[in-house]
Chains A and B, each alone.
Chain A
Amino acid sequence: MSADSARIPRLARGLKFRFDGVRGAWVLLGPERLFLPDAAAVAVLQLIDGARDLGGIVDALAQQFDAPRAEIAADVAALLDDLTARGAVAW
């Protein structure tokens, strides 16, 4: 886990994470694709800045939601793994 914690996720090339004023919701836009992230995914995506590593993201969320770190870590790992497979996140 410690090796994974130092890995830094970033949005894949061409991906844009922005607030859609018409729908009042965050959207993740990519080449011919659209992701409509739920609240948990939005919280993670807002912490992806190309500098913060996985461990830092989990720390920030554990603090933000006052939740057990291990639980947060598992959720974040699953979410980022899914977004990686779908070409939205790269490392």
Chain B
Amino acid sequence: MVAPPYGIVLELTHRCPLQCPYCSNPLRLERAADELPTATWCRILEQSAALGVLHAYFSGGEPMARRDFFDILRHASGLGLYTNLITSAVLLDADALREAVAAGLDHVQISFQDVGAADSDRMANYAGAYAKKRAAAELVRAAGLPLTLNFVVQRDNIARVPQMLALAEAIGAERVEIANVQYYGWALLNRAALLPTRAQLDAATAAVLAARARLRGRMVIDYVVPDYYAVEPKACMGGWARQLLTVSPAGRALPCHAAETLPGFDWPSLRTQPLAEIWQNSDAFTRYRGTEWMPEPCQSCARREIDWGGCRCQAFALTGDAARTDPACALSPDHALMQLAAEAAERPPPDLVYRRLGAALTPAE
């Protein structure tokens, strides 16, 4: 019997008022007409709780763009799931927050593109977004819900990590994520403009470590670095189909949100198949689970059950083969690919391609 997942990421919709050029959504965004109906999301939540899922993460796109968001949220809370709202917060006004609290919301994570309205709104390509986010953060604080600020870090804003930490402290968030962009989807498309240099990253790391020591016991600081400067790969999703799964807006069950970039899979649909069956037996979820699928150098590596071979989507995106060792690993025969990308970070950035329907289908000049 396979251990059940701890969490489920529900990408309720790909619709979003923001157009961040590092969005982790696929380049081919799902249209509203293809989204699951309310009743199917509720059934998925019921199957999740029965299987042993503890955390529900409402994500997207912007999950609050769904008119039935509060109904789905209420259903999750009623099942005893711990409910996390991962939001841009531009739709999170006082009325919406009141309704979310009444529906049993446990936690709010607000994404920030930067500190300061001009830089932040330019990255989101949405005038007024920053002011709305600040206001929403204060509302969440006043409502007494736990609050996480998620700062997405890239070349243009990484020098302002100290100001990001100061803002989180001033707002009184219990948790802040200083999360370097992970290079999938739109972010991979824009990597040459977004990846910071090694020197920039080292300065940010120093700021994070100093703040962690100073704020110990008061604010938790989660820090995510880009794989391109790593020596060991990340245990992506805690290992393929081991701890988490994602559901796409159209109801496909995925071992991670980027998995649809992988060819040669028939992704199981939660419209027609039960979650437990998918989790335990489907080809998609069993293919890279555990260690049997691993090539060398993973197969004989002492860390194979620590990092689980890294990330399958990154292996495919950079080498064309999802079953290779993640190039982030210094032991990977493809590790030089990471160094090439890091060298490109030293050059002037090309123009950004903003996230919108169809934008990625015409290559940028």
Contact = CB atoms under 8 A, between A and B. Distances in A.
Given A20-B52, A32-B84, A87-B175, A14 B145 contact: yes
B109 interface: yes
A16 to B, nearest CB: 6
Interface string A17-50: 0101011000101111010000000000000000
A11 to B, nearest CB: 11
Given A14-B106, A14-B107, A85-B217, A31 B146 contact: yes
Contacts of A87: 174-175, 219-220
B216 A85 contact: yes
B363 interface: no
B54 A31 contact: no
Contacts of A30: 82, 107, 146
A84 B51 CA distance: 31
A7 interface: no
Interface size class of B (residues with CB under 8 A): 20 to 34
Given A14-B106, A22-B51, A32 B145 contact: no
A12 interface: yes
Contacts of A27: 54
Nearest to B220: A87
Given A22-B52, A31-B106, A85-B216, A16 B175 contact: no
A86 interface: yes
Nearest to A15: B146
Given A84-B217, A86-B220, A14 B146 contact: yes
Contacts of B54: 20, 27, 29, 34
Given A13-B174, A16-B82, A16-B106, A29 B220 contact: no
B13 interface: no
A13 B109 contact: no
Interface in B27-67: 50-52, 54-55, 57
Contacts of A84: 217
A77 to B, nearest CB: 13
Nearest to B84: A32
Interface in B74-88: 80, 82, 84
Nearest to A14: B146
B17 interface: no
A36 B51 CA distance: 17
Interface string B90-114: 0000000000000000110100000
A20 B174 CA distance: 25
Nearest to A22: B52
Contacts of B175: 31-32, 87
Interface in B138-193: 144-146, 148, 174-175
Contacts of A14: 106-107, 145-146, 174
A32 B219 CA distance: 14
25 contacts: A13-B146, A16-B82, A20-B52, A22-B4, A22-B50, A22-B51, A27-B54, A29-B55, A30-B82, A30-B107, A30-B146, A31-B106, A31-B107, A31-B146, A31-B148, A32-B57, A32-B109, A32-B148, A32-B175, A34-B7, A34-B54, A34-B55, A84-B217, A85-B216, A85-B217
Given A30-B107, A31-B84, A34-B6, 17 more contacts: A12-B146, A13-B145, A13-B146, A14-B145, A16-B106, A18-B80, A20-B52, A22-B4, A29-B55, A30-B82, A31-B107, A31-B109, A32-B57, A32-B109, A32-B175, A34-B55, A85-B217
